[in-house]
Structure 1
Amino acid sequence: MTTKYEHLPSKHNRASLFTRLAQAVATWTGKPVTFFAAVAIILVWAVSGPIFGFNDTWQLVINTSTTIITFLMVFIIQNSQNRDTAAMQIKLDELIIRLEGAREELLDLEELDEKDLALIRKDFCERASKARSRSA
């Protein structure tokens, strides 16, 4: 039996190189040992200040290094967030579809403009307020 999701990653079909790299980097950089390694590097740099006379090159090393790392991490973090958000939206859409009585017009809300989302949010806030009033 075949499904329309055969192309999804499995044991035989892997995610793209960038996706695997982004996941690996995000996992590695999110560990405490990585944080402490970064702190150690900064401490080594700070302690080496007197050796280099706190000169411009000494400052440039840390400034350039941290700027490059920050620049690259922005893309890794954004990629991870995009994948996580998309997966969560798909899961929520599946729950809405499967739930008896759920309003299917709420599917794919993430595609709406902020103004439209604000109106829907206002409606849900009003419903919640009424529900709290009834239960009080």
Structure 2
Amino acid sequence: MLEKPFTRAANAVAYVTGLPVAFIACLALVLGWAVSGPLFGFSDTWQLIINTGTTIVTFLMVFLIQNTQNRDGAAMQTKLDELIRISNANNRFIGIEHLTETEVEEIRRACERAVRRKSLHPNASRSTTGKSRPAAD
């Protein structure tokens, strides 16, 4: 129910906060706060304003950024899975993002071994026509 509006809001905030003008606006705000220090006698309230404001913004931005990264990562993984699915690549790579770090590392080492074997025997996976054959597991 809230997923679509939240996604739209998260995308909009991520876009706007990524613009150079957003950085300039934040920099101007901080500089304005710093310059106003002598006017307020560098009081506790003066310090509390920037501390509270930056803490709240940081807290909220963590969740927006994480949401955006989660969606971007899932979209990228889906695209890669589709490329693997439609090519001669090994389909066992589809979904490996759901494995443990140890399981992914085992697959990575197996891939490296296969590359080393292929570099030691470059024609081992070639047919008599000279075209590459899909590597066997």
The two structures share one fold, judged by TM-score above 0.5 = yes
Shift in Å, 1:128: 3.6
1:17 counterpart = 2:5: yes
1:95 counterpart = 2:83: yes
1:41 counterpart = 2:24: no
- Which structure has the larger Rg? 2
> What is the aligned counterpart of 2:96 among 95, 106, 109?
109
User: Hey, what does 1:51 align to over in structure 2?
Assistant: 39
Shift in Å, 1:124: 2.1
Per-residue CA deviation, residues 18-45 of structure 1 (Å, 9 max, x unaligned), is 0000000000000000000000000000
Percent identity for Structure 1 against Structure 2: 53
Q: How high is the TM-score relative to the length of structure 1?
A: 0.82
Shift in Å, 1:106: 1.0
Between the two proteins, the alignment pairs up a number of residues equal to: 120
Structure 1 unmatched ranges of 5 or more:
1-14
Amino acid at match of 1:16: K
Structure 2 unmatched ranges of 5 or more:
123-137
Q: Which has the higher contact order (CA 8 A, sep 6+)?
A: 1
Q: CA RMSD in A?
A: 1.6
Q: Which runs of 4+ in 1 moved over 3 A?
A: 127-135
Q: How high is the TM-score relative to the length of structure 2?
A: 0.82
Amino acid at match of 2:98: E
| CA distance, structure 1, for counterparts of residue 91 and residue 39 of structure 2 | 67
User: Hey, what does 2:65 align to over in structure 1?
Assistant: 77
| CA distance, structure 2, for counterparts of residue 41 and residue 133 of structure 1 | 61
| CA distance, structure 1, for counterparts of residue 37 and residue 114 of structure 2 | 61
Amino acid at match of 2:72: D
| CA distance, structure 2, for counterparts of residue 47 and residue 88 of structure 1 | 45
Shift in Å, 1:117: 0.7
Amino acid at match of 1:120: I
